[in-house]
Amino acid sequence: RAQRDAASAADAVPAADADAVRFEVGDAAALRALYACVRDEGGQAALDVLAERELEDSAASGAYVTPPPLADLLAGLIPGSPARVLDPACGSGTLLAAAARRGTRELYGQDTLPVQARRSAVSLMLTAPGATVTVRAADSLRADAFPDLVADAVLCNPPYGVRDWGHDELAYDPRWAYGVPARAESELAWVQHALAHLAPGGHAVLLLPP
């Protein structure tokens, strides 16, 4: 059973580029500190430390961290406990973790950054062991990893103010039921992407700029 569980967990984590991670002699101290953190505080604490050091709020990328209290607030706007929740810009998985705390048992996430997708998958397996977790690495607007997914709810804190979101190549995309979003309004593309994945009667909660 342990082997089956390990295989299932491995399948849930997006594959990493074999050449993406390299360690040098100078990394030894940092690796020892990371090991000590995992040993003394647990895997989730180690992931939180890495997230704080590696991913900073970036006006250039439009990506922003969603603090757990805010994630809980957003998840609380969805009535009941939806069975299946999607976050198409999941970052480190805080919104999906908030949904899991409210009883959701099918979690789907996607993020453009492979390192974030992997961190999200591992974090969710630690914090929501009773849930089915599926996380993929790709741009949700340009390369939707779940084109046929119908979710009970969509929770998302999408990137803000991104001009190169795929306006031209996605001009005839069937997701734009309410018209092609303007080139300068990527937020509207995310809204329609969320709506395209909702089951009838489902709910979408997105954190957007005023």
Domain coverage including residue 149: 2-15+58-206
Under the banding of pLDDT at 50, 70 and 90, the label for residue 47 is: low
Tokens of 85: 């929740």
User: Is 28 domain-assigned?
Assistant: no
Distance CA 26, CA 28 (A): 6
User: Is 189 domain-assigned?
Assistant: yes
Q: Convert 100-136 to b/e letters by CB count within 10 Å (16 or more is b).
A: bbeebbbbbbbbbbbbbbbbbbbbbbbbbeebebbbb
pLDDT at 64 exceeding the cut of 80: no
CB distance 14 to 90 below 8 Å = no
Question: What does the pLDDT look like over 134-185, one tens digit per residue?
Answer: 999 999 999 999 999 999 999 999 998 888 999 999 999 999 999 999 999 9
Distance CA 73, CA 202 (A): 18
CATH of residue 201's domain is 3.40.50.150
User: Is 149 domain-assigned?
Assistant: yes
User: Is 84 domain-assigned?
Assistant: yes
What average pLDDT does this structure show over 104-114?
95
Percent of the chain with pLDDT over 90: 56
User: Is 158 domain-assigned?
Assistant: yes
Q: What pLDDT, on the 0 to 100 scale, is given for residue 42?
A: 67
User: Is 52 domain-assigned?
Assistant: no
Question: What does the pLDDT look like over 14-37, one tens digit per residue?
Answer: 654 443 444 455 656 765 765 676
pTM assigned to the model: 0.78
Residues 6+ positions from 208 with CB-CB distance below 8 Å: 158, 160, 187, 190, 191
Is the model more confident about 178 or about 1? Answer: 178
User: Is 85 domain-assigned?
Assistant: yes
CB distance 141 to 158 below 8 Å = no
Instruction: Domain count for the chain, please give it.
Output: 1
**Residue with the two structure tokens 């990328």:** 61
Average pLDDT across the chain, whole number: 82
Q: Which of 40-44, 102-106, 132-136, 154-158 has the lowest mean pLDDT?
A: 40-44
User: Is 36 domain-assigned?
Assistant: no
Under the banding of pLDDT at 50, 70 and 90, the label for residue 52 is: low
Q: What pLDDT, on the 0 to 100 scale, is given for residue 132?
A: 95
CA torsion, points 137, 139, 203, 128, in degrees to nearest 10?
10
**How many alpha carbons fall within 13 Å on the CB side of residue 163?**
3
Helices marked H in 136-185: none
List beta partners, residue 151: 198
